[in-house]
A and B are shown apart, each in its own frame.
Chain A
């Protein structure tokens, strides 16, 4: 069903979180402040070198997202107005990332009013309000990291983010819409921080996209470990180009779209993504098709 995770998946995630919550003391709320470094044992090829064009594997994208990505031309990133763009919050956490997390306190009551996160990638700042404030109206501006509110559920910090700018579900042109709502769960176990993201995108996803990312506590962080970035200056990478030109492929005319399937010996259909390709039973279909 569009817009809804399969019930079994939702139930599984709920059980996982329930176990984590149950394992924590009733007093709940744990300290997640500190410097955290991403672990790259998951999806490393996508996260470091970057995804290949036409690799839509394992993402619950719909036909609109597929056409958007098929039309996308990496040369778009050479346009001055595209060069300095940050990753939006549903995607940025899978980058080569460091997190610094700290608490904002009410000076009088010493209650935690917000969690702050500084992300090394693109030097992004996040504020997660814990004071019960509402989200702004739809006509408020959208930002790369959106507007976040959170609450502690036992030892798990659950965060809801809206007002997110257009970004990617995968940085090979698969789009993430401004209507996206991101739900996150942060939970700490020892010196590890597990970050669960559930991305609901009614425009470009058939089902929510669920990811987990692990981080390890870094007690020896140096200032140089973080990216200092206050000003990004776009350059004229292709002199003489018409400033109104937008690189893209006309429908059906992207010559690179099948390269990923050929290079890895995959059925082309499987590389096209979609909710069905996320589940184990799809493997039987693929194996059957290739015999």
Chain B
């Protein structure tokens, strides 16, 4: 078995183990709420970041954090509103983003239970869980096979096209599929009146982007998604604020922060592409340290090192793809 395959298996194991990587917050930290702007809040400390839209009709959650923090997340939501959770929207299938699905959905109540909304758990009173269909494919399994997550955590309302829109709590909500970015089932969630977009692991401030090729991610898809986001967000006065971004991990951001990240990913992609064009092996590329100046910013995330990022980009760009050996 090559070291490259070992590296990929290591990532798969890490993902299966709960997504405790890429800047995931420790499991003992308090779950804290902070208003982003408009009706949207950030819940921090439950693994991945959680965005919560609060309104008269009840809260909407974007992601649910790690399973073991679900009660803390629920308490934090209760601190924002006494109303039951109506919708959960998942940005992708990592366990640190969907781990609380089951508990939080069970705590809530769909505003208008629909047939499709009750398929997952068979309970009409749960909150609806919305996600792209490819996410459902990742967390479920064909009949007769063992699914990686319990059925009660599965999405109950999926979409298969580019986008799902709905209007809730007096604002439009766009759930927009980002194909082949972190995974093939990524979505971003844009709260239009609040002007806040929750982006899952398409963007973060604490690690290099995790390109999960085994689940359909790619460097080109990641860059396409980052550039899509740049086109979506608008800076406020004096080039700060405006559209606010809730990343999968790290701090609340705006366009200026996103630009730095997009630039970094583009520059690293270009360097590795150039090295591949020169016939350099993965070992040679890694030794050349194409991320060197950014490692102090993004290279210390648990479970997703600079070398892993370089390897993922290399394999994503190399004509031989995943099978490329060292």
Contact = CB atoms under 8 A, between A and B. Distances in A.
B231 interface: yes
A246 B271 contact: no
Given A203-B297, A248-B266, 15 more contacts: A68-B293, A85-B239, A85-B256, A86-B240, A137-B34, A141-B251, A141-B253, A165-B240, A166-B260, A178-B257, A203-B296, A243-B227, A244-B224, A246-B270, A250-B271
A64 B34 contact: no
Contacts of A85: 239, 256
Interface string A235-250: 0000000011110101
Interface residues of B, number: 43
Interface string A31-65: 00000000000000000000000000000000111
Interface string A174-200: 010111000000000000000000000
Interface string A109-126: 000000000000011100
17 contacts: A64-B292, A64-B293, A65-B293, A71-B293, A85-B239, A85-B256, A86-B239, A137-B32, A140-B34, A143-B240, A179-B297, A204-B296, A243-B231, A248-B266, A250-B274, A251-B271, A251-B290
Contact of A248 (B238, B255, B270): B270
Given A86-B238, A123-B238, A140 B270 contact: no
- Which range contains the number of A residues in contact with the other chain? 35 or more
Contacts of A65: 293
A202 interface: yes
Interface in A153-175: 165-166, 175
B227 A244 contact: yes
Contacts of A71: 267, 293
A138 B288 CA distance: 32
Contacts of B250: 139
Contacts of A10: none
A76 interface: yes
B230 interface: yes
Question: 10 closest A-B pairs (Cβ-Cβ)?
Answer: A203-B296, A68-B293, A64-B293, A246-B266, A67-B293, A141-B252, A139-B251, A84-B239, A81-B259, A244-B227
A232 B239 contact: yes
A267 to B, nearest CB: 23
B235 interface: yes
B267 A248 contact: yes
Given A81-B259, A243-B227, A244-B266, A141 B238 contact: no
Contacts of A232: 238-239
B44 A137 contact: yes
Given A202-B296, A244-B266, A246-B266, A139 B239 contact: no
Contacts of A251: 271, 288, 290
Interface centre among A84, A139, A143 (most CB of B within 10 A): A139
B237 interface: yes
Contact of B235 (A63, A84, A250): A84
A147 interface: no
A209 B220 CA distance: 38
Interface centre among B237, B263, B293, B295 (most CB of A within 10 A): B293
Contacts of A141: 241, 244, 251-254
